[in-house]
Chains A and B, each alone.
Chain A
Amino acid sequence: MSATLRLADGISCPVSTVPVDRVQLGHGSGGKQSAAMLRDHFLPHLSNPVLDQLGDGAVVTVHGGEIAVSTDTFVVTPVEFPGGDIGSLAVHGTLNDIAMMGAVPRFITAGFVIEEGLDFGLLDRVIRSMAEAARAAGVPLITGDTKVVERGKADKLYINTTGIGTLDGVCRPAPDKAQAGDAVIVSGPIGSHGMAIMAVREGLAFDAEIVSDSAALFPLVERLARECGRDVHVLRDPTRGGVASSLNEIAAASGVGIVLTETEIPVPEPVGAACEMLGLDPLYVANEGVMLVILPERLADAALAALRSLPLGASAVQIGRVVPDHPGMVIMRTALGGSRVVDMLPGDQLPRIC
């Protein structure tokens, strides 16, 4: 105990030296803990130039042609939720990652971990929904795998999907391409997926049911690419960790600052109400059918018009700008005219006490 560090009247509070020796749920949150786990436990062994970019997917060259590959694992509880289920989510999520690289989704594969005792009715519904999502996207599921584990060794059903896409070389967005003078656009209202799941889990009832926004984003990308093509600097679907985490990653990767305007951020009323009740911030809530678009501000109107021409992008709006100041940092201009930092979360958002 150091006397110099103690205040005269004995005011004190413990130094915590909590060594993190085991994986916590926060390591899967997509926030700083996730990044630390990748950095400390994965990259030291698996590092290579492609992986080290830590994108949502990778672009590799095979026999002179470029292909985009992305893989994602889905462990959502509950398996079925308003607006979708783990099957459609597993298709949309992976194909969206492909689309965010500016690639055309071509194929998808799936691996299933199934808990002993799973109801075949539920399995059928999930697979049917998966098939419908893949068919609607025009992407065949070309190979797969199933494993069954003892009851209790998994929670009903986990799905891993891998998507493969091709690149035409025109639209090549990447997280490190944001530039000062760019506009930050969001293609639709935020927070619906995460709060739809949360509302079911917590048994919250609202006047209007919150429905997941789970959807395939490729049609929006296609329309956008037709208008703005090579000028699209960044595309990102802000899933785990929400809009705030995605923008922080982009700001860091591109070495730029981002300034958001609070009054422009589209939060559906039931989502806002649910977040208020639980003490959560919609900026950190997962989305599954929304994308962030960053491109030169002079093209913002054209991009918005392109997005709004499809129902999924009907409420697309510019929410901020890329600036040369405060590189790596996202700042919010508040409704009251103040400003605040919008940081990465350390781990999961935790509901507050009161």
Chain B
Amino acid sequence: MKYLSEYRDGGLARRIVSQIRNLATRRWVLMEVCGGQTHTIVKQGLDELLGDAVEMIHGPGCPVCVTPLEQIDKALLLAARPEVIFTSFGDMLRVPGSECDLLQVRARGGAVRIVYSPLDALELAIANPDKQVVFFAVGFETTAPANAMAVWQARELGVRNFTVLVSHVTVPPAMIALLQDPDNRVQGFLAAGHVCTGMGWTEYDPLAAGFKVPIVVTGFEPVDILEGIYLAVKQLEEGRFEVENQYVRAVTRLGTVPARTVVEQVFQLVDRKWRGIGEIPASGLGLREAFADFDAERRFNLGTMVVDEPAECQAGAVLRGQLKPRQCGAFGTRCTPEHPLGAPMVSSEGACAAYHNYGRYRAVEMAVTA
């Protein structure tokens, strides 16, 4: 597959790994921000290949995992309303709320539909004028442009029965929060390539310089990630702390200007609670006043919901990179994809799911020589 198979080339990957091993004079600790990258690392066994040269800590970049419980509970409430068609990316359906998940709401008669694009949800609203169509606008800067565009279009087209339940988060404030944590061990970052496809990387310049951490904008295929690690290790070995771009085939310094523009027009920075981590100032996106009509929380008067989060789930420590999924006492026993305690076990980008689905039996000796 063009532009895909090249980045999964085993020979090339192994060459980069040996370059990283030759370069590293000590063990460096890097964090890949995005859960998609975590899955590539665990699925392809990159951590295995890297051995002692680099420790990869898995970051908070799983939109499903960090969506706060009260937003999930609001989604469950809305989805159960008879006049509502609740639309969401597929990932969110299995995430446990306080009492159930969206799949169970659907089984009880709620109209819950998986969509691939928020614009599909908007079309659904146009096609069902007697229903209220709500779209669950979650995610990082990757999904924000399309979600902003759906709201923008809804206003342009005068669609009155379309709203969004917003729980957007942004990456740089989370990186700052991690770096300011006294327990932080992260010495360099692989920034999420697809976040930067839209937003560019200008926001990262002050971070790299201020906290003295290399930040390498990195893609998602095995060769991308290994190249990103190589560049970060090279900077660390040379004592440089810069933003570099590994993902040149998709990212430019300024990003995609129309995408940034629509995000800025529709959304504004708001304080946002991250599930398992807590509130991070100015870390989320909320609808601007001019688009308040499309805010599901206002339309349905959801108000402030305070949800107690009792837990044996240590998702927060996993999301901060302080705990590897395997080190959690519930991992694979009381917490499995069928019976998750927390979102990282069910999300396709969750670190716990990656370890559970692909990495559980890493110790198993391969009986195959071919």
Contacts and interface: CB of A to CB of B under 8 A. Distances in A.
Contacts of A221: none
A3 B154 CA distance: 47
Interface of B: 1, 4, 8, 10, 13-14, 36, 42-46, 48-49, 63-64, 69, 89-94, 96-101, 103-104, 106-108, 114, 116, 138-140, 142-143, 194, 222, 275-278, 307-317, 320, 336-343, 348-349, 356-362, 364-368, 370
A354 B142 contact: yes
A244 to B, nearest CB: 11
Contacts of A340: 42-45, 357-359
A350 B356 CA distance: 17
A144 interface: no
Interface residues of A, number: 60
A25 to B, nearest CB: 7
Contacts of B93: 350
Contact of A14 (B14, B104, B143, B309): B309
Contacts of B358: 340-341
B337 A352 contact: no
B310 A339 contact: no
Contact of B90 (A331, A341, A350): A350
A12 B44 contact: no
A337 B10 contact: yes
Contacts of B310: 1-2, 12, 14-15
A22 B275 CA distance: 28
Nearest to B64: A353
Contacts of B138: 353
Contacts of A202: 116
A353 B34 CA distance: 12
Q: Is the interface of A mostly helix, strand, loop or mixed?
A: loop
B310 to A, nearest CB: 4
Contacts of A269: 1
Given A12-B276, A329-B361, 18 more contacts: A1-B308, A2-B310, A9-B278, A12-B311, A16-B339, A22-B108, A25-B107, A257-B367, A331-B364, A337-B14, A337-B45, A338-B49, A343-B356, A345-B337, A351-B114, A352-B89, A352-B348, A354-B139
11 contacts: A5-B311, A16-B98, A16-B339, A263-B10, A276-B4, A339-B48, A339-B364, A347-B94, A353-B63, A353-B143, A354-B194
Most B CB within 10 A of own CB, among A5, A337, A339, A353? A353
B349 A352 contact: yes
B341 A352 contact: no
B323 to A, nearest CB: 9
Interface in A215-273: 257, 259, 261, 263, 269, 272-273
A352 B357 CA distance: 15
A351 B91 contact: yes
Nearest to A337: B10
Interface string A155-176: 0000000000000000000000
A11 B278 contact: yes
Contact of B45 (A36, A257, A339): A339
A336 interface: yes
Given A14-B342, A16-B97, A323 B368 contact: yes
A346 B4 CA distance: 28
A18 B139 CA distance: 24
Contacts of B14: 336-337
B349 A12 contact: no
B48 A321 contact: no
B360 to A, nearest CB: 5
A294 to B, nearest CB: 15
A59 B108 CA distance: 38
B195 to A, nearest CB: 9
A15 B312 contact: yes
A335 interface: yes
Contacts of B46: 336, 338
Question: What 9 A-B pairs are tightest by C-beta distance, nearest first?
Answer: A338-B45, A11-B316, A16-B96, A350-B90, A13-B315, A340-B358, A13-B313, A323-B367, A13-B342
A326 B311 contact: no
B348 A13 contact: no
Contacts of A347: 94, 103
Given A11-B320, A14-B310, A326-B364, A336 B348 contact: no
B338 A336 contact: no
A7 interface: yes
A182 B82 CA distance: 55
Contacts of A335: 8, 10, 44
A205 interface: no
Contacts of B103: 24-26, 347
B139 A353 contact: yes
